[in-house]
């Protein structure tokens, strides 16, 4: 049984542990949101998450934080990931958004995102940020 539900703050430590197990930098408090972060449960166990950030214009939104429990079988992870992405696409369609963008610095993930319906737009991108 699969359930895709909204994120709850009690999920934070668990999701951060997934990022750590993948040797990646995880989210900081406040980055995952109740209306936009989704947790996919498989057989009542949380196994995957992704955040959808909307913007002030219906022209663009962003996917961020796609991550799974590290012990999920590869074939199952692909199947569940497809369902989670479709859920997030529909979430944006229902709100009237026209397109979504995702970033990654891993070619393997970029290919996976393309398998999930994305198209490559820019290569060699450098992501910059500043804490305000």
Tell me: the pLDDT tens digits for 15-42? 999 999 999 999 999 999 999 999 999 9
- Domain holding 30, by residue range, is 2-115
For residue 102, tell me if it sits in a domain: yes
Structural domain contains residue 97: yes
Which CATH number belongs to the domain containing residue 63 in this structure? Answer: 3.40.630.30
Total count of domains within the chain: 1
**Any long-range contacts for 48-54 (C-beta under 8 Å, 24+ apart)?**
48/72, 48/77, 48/80, 48/81, 48/84, 49/7, 49/11, 49/15, 49/18, 49/84, 50/84, 50/85, 50/88, 51/7, 51/27, 52/88, 52/91, 52/92, 52/100, 54/92, 54/95, 54/97
Residue 79's pLDDT is 96
Residue 132 belongs to some domain of the structure: no
pLDDT at 124 over 80: no
Note whether residue 11 is domain-resident: yes
pLDDT in tens, 59-112: 999 999 999 999 999 999 999 999 999 999 999 999 999 999 998 888 888 899
pLDDT surpassing 80 at residue 126: no
What pTM, to 2 d.p., does this model score?
A: 0.91
């Amino acid at each position: 049984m699969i359930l895709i539900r909204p994120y709850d703050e009690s999920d934070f430590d668990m999701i951060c542990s997934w990022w750590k197990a993948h040797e990646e930098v995880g989210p900081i408090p406040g980055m995952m949101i109740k209306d936009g972060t989704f947790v996919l449960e498989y057989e009542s166990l949380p196994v995957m998450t992704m955040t959808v950030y909307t913007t002030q214009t219906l022209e663009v939104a962003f996917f961020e934080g796609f991550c799974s429990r590290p012990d999920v079988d590869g074939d199952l992870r692909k199947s569940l990931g497809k369902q989670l992405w479709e859920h997030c696409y529909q979430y944006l369609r229902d709100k009237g958004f026209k397109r979504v963008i995702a970033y990654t610095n891993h070619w393997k993930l970029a290919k996976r995102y393309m398998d999930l319906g994305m198209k490559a737009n820019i290569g060699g991108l450098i992501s910059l940020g500043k804490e305000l």
